[in-house]
Structures are given as structure tokens and as C-alpha cells.
């Protein structure tokens, strides 16, 4: 892909994410990680090449069907993109409102999710009054609230401390266990190490095939092992996120 | 998880508006729409009064005719006029036929002759004023036949010329009112469309997040439709109220006959302003939708 008339940012990318898979995406700053995610969440079209999403070639998807695809994708934007005129609660509830859910139905679930990411006391806070890490957690909560089939997270732990980073990882792993395909763009080595999931590396516009990081000493890979692997973290179980809309996972 | 705050107000809790409120812009738009609505309502009210005036004139005109009598040989003009009046009075559909006396005739002729220079015995044409039954007025043909039968040389003016003029004036007044209403609707629609486009571009960030979260164009345009429908309905109510107050003042303080005999306002005419809020909301919905969908479907949008 390319932006305007600039040279191509991404070239010859051949990537297939199997439904239910969990990948990290790393690479130097400016390598095109965010750009690759944009291609997947349909914010930018490819200058050439083919993108298939949920089994459909996106160049053949009618414009009016795009929203249905997007509702199956949760995105944590690198720059959060919170709506600054809405409360934390309303920000997180946004995908549910758009999907036509009624406020009285979703409010408690959303409040619970916010509490789980440590914002239980800030339900009515405006994003401008939140710290960088709090905004990030808000953005994450919004991305997962609809229990998407695919979760794309762009530097989701860049602004939070180690403990909260692991807690967020735990949330992603729980979603993954429930069937969500996860792709996380990150520079956070520890996160990658901890998760022990395959890593895609993007450099010079090209993608290297997935590598499994060597598991850290005494740690098994795989999301289920995570709770044992980090016994010092007393994590609550992830909240019962609202049931997904119709449609089965297939990326 | 326990200890969640704000469990109690959960019932009353309402989510915030997805569109940020554009304070200054919305107020300016409200004002413009209120003024436009006031103008439209005032036009409608005055048009009703004008229509009533026109139909009043129409009945007055079609309920009367004038006959100009030329004295025959061996007849004074007064005798000729009396004969004509008698003949006309017998026609069905005539309520009264009255020969105007010399003073009346002179007064009517003054505009053409100039004031008071005629010698007393100068021959002047005599006029017969005919009042017709407004419900079933005698036809011009019947009047002419009666005059011919009586052997009176006369020219009948059934005022149809004036009738045509009044009809034309009424038509013009009605079309002008409709045209003004249409222009006002267009202007209000353009203002709403402008505000919609401004809202879409000034908060492109919000719109993009909505799109990326799976919002359809119709969902986003619906946000604008609802906002501007409310705004227009409220402004429409204010505008209608202003027009009613203004027209009411005209009626109350505008003289005996309601404003003037020219525009006989009635209190019920003020009801013409009642549909204004609904009409304004309708115009707002249509123009917001058109403008929003046009912008959203433009190829540059994400
Ligand atoms: N909207 C844009 N318009 C033009 N060029 C862009 C735009 N967004 C990104 N780029 C360029 O594309 C390249 C890849 O950017 P991208 O944001 O995908 O990198 P990244 O891998 O996410 O970097 P980082 O780790 O710093 O977030 C960069 O050279 C950047 O300058
Ligand atoms: Mg990036």
C-alpha cells in the first residue's frame, strides 16, 4: 500500500491469520505496522494486491456491507481515537450503540468492563481528564466490548505499567481463548516474551514469516499457561463481555 | 466485581449525544430558521387575508353593474334613466336599479371633467346603478335584453373587467405567498444542509471513528437528521409564535375592520402558523439527510 503519491509503505505482504490465532507484529518505528492494520480494518485500501477478510475479497464487498465487516473487528488505535465529548462509559459503549443495543441493556456490562481495566471510578470522566494509560485502557475496553471476531491492537501497552500491561495481555488471551483472532502490533519485548505467541516482523515494507519467541525460563507458552506463569499477579477473571453479534469467526 | 458506583441511577441514565454539540453554530442556525419561519408564517397569514379581501371584492363587483344611458329623441336624460331603471328592476336577479341623480353623476364624472365647470344644463350621460342578487345575479345578457325591450339606448358595464383584475390580483397574491413560502423552505433547507456539512467536516475525527466502529451512513446521517429536526421544530415554534403575535397585533390595533378593509384579517387566520414547526422539522430532515449522505458517499471518505 501507499499513502497518496508517496512510495509504497508495504510491499509483497503475504499474511494469513487463521481464525482463533494470536500473533504479534513487531518492527522498527515507521516500518508500517499501523499501516498493515489499517488495511485489515478497512481504513485504507491496498494500492495493489488482494485482501480477503472473513473469506471475502474486500474489493468485491459492497460499500453498504463494509459496516458489517467492521463490526466484527475491534481496533485499539495507536492514538486511541476516543470521542472527547463523551464520557468513558459512552466511549466504551460506542460499538454497542452503533450495533443498535439499548442503553439499559449494556450499561452494567460496560461499567463492569471499565472496572476491570481499572476505570471503575471514572465512568463519567471525559477522556481529556484521563491519563495516557487510562485513555489506552479505555481504548482497549472499547475495542473488546463487542467481543469482536478479530482484535487488532496497535501498541496497546505503550502507556501502561508492567502490571497493567500483563493484565491487558491476559484480557486479549481470554478473548483469544473464546475464539477471537488477535493481532497485536507492539515494541514491548516483555509482552511478546510472556505471551509466547508467534511474532511477525515487519521491516522495510516486507514481512518475515512468523517466529516463535524462545519461551522464557520456566514458562510454558500458550494462553492457558499464563495464570500459572504469572502467579504474582492477582488477576481478576476477565468480565463476561457481552455476547457477540451473529456471525462466526473466520479471518 | 462489586462496589461499582452509580448502580442506583442506572435506570435514569442516558447516554451522551454521539455528535458533539456545536454550541455557537447551532444557535446561529436556530436564529436563522426562526426568522425564516416567522416570515413564512406571516406571509401565509397575510395571504389568507388577501384571499378573503379578493373574494369580498369579487362578490361586491359581481353583485353590481352600471348602465350608461343615452337619452333617446324627445327624452331628457333623467327620463331615459328612469325608464332604464324601471326596465332593469323587473329582471329576475336584480335587487335594485337606481337612476343616479345629476349630482351623483357629476361626482362620478369629476375625475374626467375636472371640478365644477359645467353649466347646469349641459347634457351629461346618466347612470343607473344596478344591484344584483349576490346568490343568483342576473346575467349581463338578461340585463341587455331588458334594456333593448324597453327601447333604451344604453351601454351596460357589468364590471367584468374589474372582476378580471381582481382575479388576477388575487392569483398574483396567492402565487407570491406560495413562492415566498417555497423560497423560505429552500433557504432553511440550505442553512440546514450547510450546518450538516460543517458538522461533518469539522468533526471528521468523530465521523471516522463512528465509521470504523461499523456505523452505516444512514446511522450517521440520522444523528444529523434528529439533531436538526429538533432544532428546526423548536425554531419553527418560535418563528410561528412571533408571526402570530405580530399578526395578532395588526388585527387588534389595526383599525375597525381588522388591519384595514384591504386585508381583512380574522383570528382564525393565525392558525396558518400552526403547522410551521412540523414543516420546519420536515425540511430539516430532508436537507440534513441529503447533505450528509452526499458528503458521506463522496469517495474521499473513509
Ligand atoms: N496518513 C499518512 N500519510 C502519509 N504517510 C503516512 C501516513 N501514515 C503513515 N505514513 C507513513 O507510512 C510509513 C509507515 O507508517 P506506520 O504508521 O504504518 O508505521 P509504524 O510501523 O506503525 O510505526 P510506529 O511503530 O512508529 O507506530 C511511515 O513512513 C509513515 O511516515
Ligand atoms: Mg504505528
Contact A33, A78 (CB under 8 A): no
Do B227 and B198 fall into the same domain?
yes
Average pLDDT over residues A10-39: 90
B159 part of a folded domain: no
What is residue B90's predicted lDDT score, i.e. its pLDDT?
85
Residues at CB less than 6 angstroms from ligand 1: A 3, 6, 9, 27, 29-35, 78
pLDDT at A243 over 50: no
Distance CA B220, CA B200 (A): 9
- The pLDDT-based confidence of A229 (bands split at 50, 70, 90) is very low
Domain that holds residue B126: 64-136
B200 part of a folded domain: yes
Do B232 and B122 fall into the same domain?
no
Average pLDDT, chain B: 83
B52 three-class SS: helix
Average pLDDT over residues B265-273: 88
Contact B154, B65 (CB under 8 A): no
pLDDT in tens, B98-152: 888 777 777 776 766 666 566 666 667 778 888 888 788 788 888 888 888 888 8
Contact at CB, B214 and A107, closer than 8 angstroms: no
Quote the DSSP letter at residue B272: G
Ligand 1 site-directed mutation target among A26, A35, A159, most atoms within 8 Å of CB: A35
Out of A68-72, B153-157, B158-162, B279-283, least confident range = B158-162
Cα-based distances in Å from B27 to A6, A131, B112, B119? 43, 33, 60, 73
The total number of structural domains that make up chain B: 2
Our CA angle for B119, B121, B122, nearest 5°, is 70
User: Which chain B residues contact residue A112 at CB under 8 A?
Assistant: 1, 4
| Contact residues, B window 13-52, toward A, CB-based 8 Å cutoff | 13-18, 20-21
> Averaging pLDDT over each range in A25-29, A42-46, B23-27, which range is the top one?
A25-29
What is residue A70's predicted lDDT score, i.e. its pLDDT?
93
Which of B86, B119, B136 is the last residue in one of the domains? Answer: B136
DSSP labels, A71-116: HTEEEE-TT----TTS-HHHHHHHHHHHTT--HHHHHHHHHHHHHH
Distance CA A96, CA A105 (A): 10
Do B270 and B230 fall into the same domain?
yes
Which of B100, B116, B136 is the last residue in one of the domains? Answer: B136
**Which ranges in chain A are annotated with CATH 3.40.50.300?**
1-72+148-251
Average pLDDT over residues B231-245: 96
Question: The C-alpha cell of B147 is what?
Answer: 334594456
Average pLDDT over residues A101-113: 92
pLDDT in tens, B186-224: 999 999 999 899 888 888 889 999 999 999 999 999 999
Quote the DSSP letter at residue A65: G
What is residue A67's predicted lDDT score, i.e. its pLDDT?
93
Average pLDDT, chain A: 82
Do B40 and B177 fall into the same domain?
yes
CA of A37 to the centre of ligand 2 (A): 9
pTM given for the model:
0.77
Average pLDDT over residues B6-16: 63
Choose among A43, A81, A121: nearest Cβ to B5.
Answer: A121
What is residue B255's predicted lDDT score, i.e. its pLDDT?
66
pLDDT greater at residue A238 or residue A53? A53
- The pLDDT-based confidence of B226 (bands split at 50, 70, 90) is very high
**In this structure, CATH architecture of domain A1-72+148-251:** 3-Layer(aba) Sandwich (3.40)
Contact A230, A131 (CB under 8 A): no
Do B239 and B253 fall into the same domain?
yes
**Closest of A52, A245, A222 to residue A146, by C-alpha:** A245
Which of B97, B116, B136 is the last residue in one of the domains? Answer: B136
B266 part of a folded domain: yes
- The pLDDT-based confidence of A53 (bands split at 50, 70, 90) is confident
Do B47 and B73 fall into the same domain?
no
Choose among A86, A98, A104: nearest Cβ to B214.
Answer: A98
Instruction: For chain B, give the percent of residues with pLDDT over 90.
Output: 32
Choose among A85, A104, A115: nearest Cβ to B4.
Answer: A115
What is residue B3's predicted lDDT score, i.e. its pLDDT?
43
What is residue A186's predicted lDDT score, i.e. its pLDDT?
93
What is residue B159's predicted lDDT score, i.e. its pLDDT?
78
B129 three-class SS: strand
Do B109 and B249 fall into the same domain?
no
Residue B61, H or E segment: helix B23-62
- The pLDDT-based confidence of A97 (bands split at 50, 70, 90) is very high
Out of A51-65, B77-91, B103-117, least confident range = B103-117
A153 three-class SS: strand
Amino acid at each position: 500500500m501507499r499513502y497518496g503519491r508517496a512510495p509504497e509503505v508495504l510491499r509483497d505482504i503475504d499474511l494469513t491469520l487463521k481464525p482463533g490465532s494470536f500473533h504479534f507484529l513487531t518492527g522498527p518505528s515507521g516500518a508500517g505496522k499501523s499501516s498493515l492494520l489499517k488495511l485489515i480494518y478497512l481504513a485504507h485500501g491496498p494500492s495493489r494486491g488482494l485482501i480477503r477478510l472473513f473469506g471475502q475479497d474486500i474489493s468485491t464487498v459492497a460499500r453498504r456491507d463494509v459496516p458489517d465487516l467492521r463490526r466484527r473487528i475491534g481496533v485499539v488505535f495507536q492514538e486511541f481515537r476516543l470521542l472527547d465529548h463523551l464520557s468513558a462509559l459512552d466511549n466504551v459503549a460506542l460499538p454497542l450503540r452503533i450495533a443498535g443495543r439499548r442503553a439499559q441493556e449494556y450499561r452494567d456490562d460496560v461499567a463492569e468492563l471499565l472496572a476491570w481495566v481499572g476505570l471503575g471510578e471514572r465512568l463519567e470522566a471525559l477522556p481529556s481528564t484521563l491519563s495516557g494509560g487510562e485513555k489506552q485502557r479505555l481504548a482497549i475496553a472499547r475495542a473488546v466490548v463487542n467481543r469482536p471476531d478479530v482484535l487488532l491492537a496497535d501498541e496497546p501497552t505503550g502507556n501502561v505499567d508492567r502490571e497493567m500491561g500483563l493484565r491487558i495481555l491476559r484480557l486479549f488471551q481470554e478473548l483469544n481463548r473464546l475464539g477471537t483472532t488477535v493481532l497485536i502490533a507492539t515494541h514491548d519485548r516483555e509482552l511478546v516474551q510472556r505471551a509466547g505467541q508467534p511474532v511477525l516482523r515487519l521491516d522495510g515494507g516486507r514481512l518475515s514469516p512468523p517466529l516463535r519467541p524462545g519461551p522464557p525460563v520456566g514458562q510454558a507458552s500458550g494462553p492457558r499457561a499464563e495464570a500459572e506463569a504469572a502467579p504474582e499477579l492477582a488477576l481478576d477473571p476477565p468480565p463476561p463481555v457481552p455476547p457477540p453479534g451473529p456471525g462466526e469467526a473466520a479471518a | 466485581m462489586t462496589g461499582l458506583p452509580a448502580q442506583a441511577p442506572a435506570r435514569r441514565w442516558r447516554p451522551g449525544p454521539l455528535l458533539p454539540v456545536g454550541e455557537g453554530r447551532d444557535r446561529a442556525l436556530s436564529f436563522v430558521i426562526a426568522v425564516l419561519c416567522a416570515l413564512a408564517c406571516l406571509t401565509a397569514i397575510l395571504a389568507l387575508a388577501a384571499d378573503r379581501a379578493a373574494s369580498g371584492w369579487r362578490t361586491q363587483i359581481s353583485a353590481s353593474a352600471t348602465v350608461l344611458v343615452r337619452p333617446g329623441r324627445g327624452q331628457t336624460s333623467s327620463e331615459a334613466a328612469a325608464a332604464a331603471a324601471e326596465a332593469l328592476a323587473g329582471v329576475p336577479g336584480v335587487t335594485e336599479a337606481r337612476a343616479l341623480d345629476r349630482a351623483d353623476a357629476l361626482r362620478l364624472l369629476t375625475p374626467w371633467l375636472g371640478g365644477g365647470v359645467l353649466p347646469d344644463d349641459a347634457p351629461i350621460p346618466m347612470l343607473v346603478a344596478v344591484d344584483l342578487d349576490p346568490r343568483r345575479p342576473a346575467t349581463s345578457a338578461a340585463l341587455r335584453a331588458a334594456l333593448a325591450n324597453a327601447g333604451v339606448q344604453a351601454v351596460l358595464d357589468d364590471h367584468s373587467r374589474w372582476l378580471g383584475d381582481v382575479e388576477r390580483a388575487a392569483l398574483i397574491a396567492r402565487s407570491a405567498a406560495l413562492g415566498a413560502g417555497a423560497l423560505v423552505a429552500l433557504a432553511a433547507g440550505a442553512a440546514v444542509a450547510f450546518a450538516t456539512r460543517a458538522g461533518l467536516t469539522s468533526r471528521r475525527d468523530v465521523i471516522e471513528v463512528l465509521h470504523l466502529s461499523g456505523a452505516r451512513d444512514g446511522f450517521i446521517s440520522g444523528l444529523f437528521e434528529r439533531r436538526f429536526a429538533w432544532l428546526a421544530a423548536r425554531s419553527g415554534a418560535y418563528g410561528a409564535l412571533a408571526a402570530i403575535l405580530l399578526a395578532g397585533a395588526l388585527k387588534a390595533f389595526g383599525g375597525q375592520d381588522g388591519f384595514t378593509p384591504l386585508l381583512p384579517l380574522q383570528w382564525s387566520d393565525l392558525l396558518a402558523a400552526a403547522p410551521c414547526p412540523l414543516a420546519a422539522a420536515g425540511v430539516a430532515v430532508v436537507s440534513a439527510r441529503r447533505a450528509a449522505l452526499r458528503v458521506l458517499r463522496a469517495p474521499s471518505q473513509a
